[in-house]
Chains A and B, each alone.
Chain A
Amino acid sequence: MKTKLLESVEQKSLRPQTPYFEVGDTVDVHCRIVEGEKVRTQIFTGTVISRKGRGMNEMFTVRRMIGDEGVERVFPLNSPNVIDIRPIRSGKSRRAKLYYLRDRVGKGVRLSQRHSKHTVSK
Chain B
Amino acid sequence: MAMLLGKKIGMTQVYNEQGKMIPVTVLQAGPCTVTQVKTPDSDGYAALQLGYDDVKASRILKPAQGHAQKANTTPKRFVREWRLGAKDTPGYAAGDQINVASFAEIKYVDVIGTSKGKGYAGAMKRHGFGGFPGSHGTERKHRASGSIGGYGSDRGHGGNVKKGKRMSGRMGGERVTTKHHQLVSIDEENNLLVVKGAVAGPVGAYVEIRSSRTRSQK
Contacts and interface: CB of A to CB of B under 8 A. Distances in A.
19 contacts: A2-B10, A3-B9, A5-B190, A5-B192, A6-B9, A8-B190, A8-B192, A9-B12, A9-B14, A9-B26, A9-B194, A10-B13, A13-B13, A32-B19, A34-B18, A56-B14, A79-B15, A79-B19, A80-B19
Interface of A: 1-3, 5-6, 8-10, 12-13, 32, 34, 56-57, 76, 78-81
Given A6-B10, A9-B194, 7 more contacts: A5-B26, A5-B190, A9-B26, A13-B13, A57-B13, A78-B15, A80-B19
Given A9-B14, A9-B192, A76 B21 contact: yes
A62 B103 CA distance: 43
B26 A6 contact: yes
B3 interface: no
B33 interface: no
A9 B5 CA distance: 19
B10 A3 contact: yes
Nearest to A81: B19
A57 to B, nearest CB: 8
Nearest to A55: B12
A103 B185 CA distance: 46
Given A76-B21, A79-B21, A5 B9 contact: yes
A102 B12 CA distance: 33
Interface string B89-105: 00000000000000000
Main secondary structure of the interface of B (DSSP, over half): strand
Nearest to A11: B14
Nearest to A79: B19
B62 to A, nearest CB: 34
A23 B203 CA distance: 36
B13 A56 contact: yes
Contacts of B203: 1
B24 interface: yes
A34 B203 CA distance: 37
A1 B202 CA distance: 13
Contact of B28 (A5, A10, A56, A76): A5
Contacts of A2: 10
B188 interface: no
B187 interface: yes
Contacts of A57: 13
Nearest to A76: B21
A13 B14 contact: yes
Interface in B26-66: 26, 28
Contacts of B187: 8-9
A40 to B, nearest CB: 14
A56 to B, nearest CB: 6
Contacts of A8: 187, 190, 192
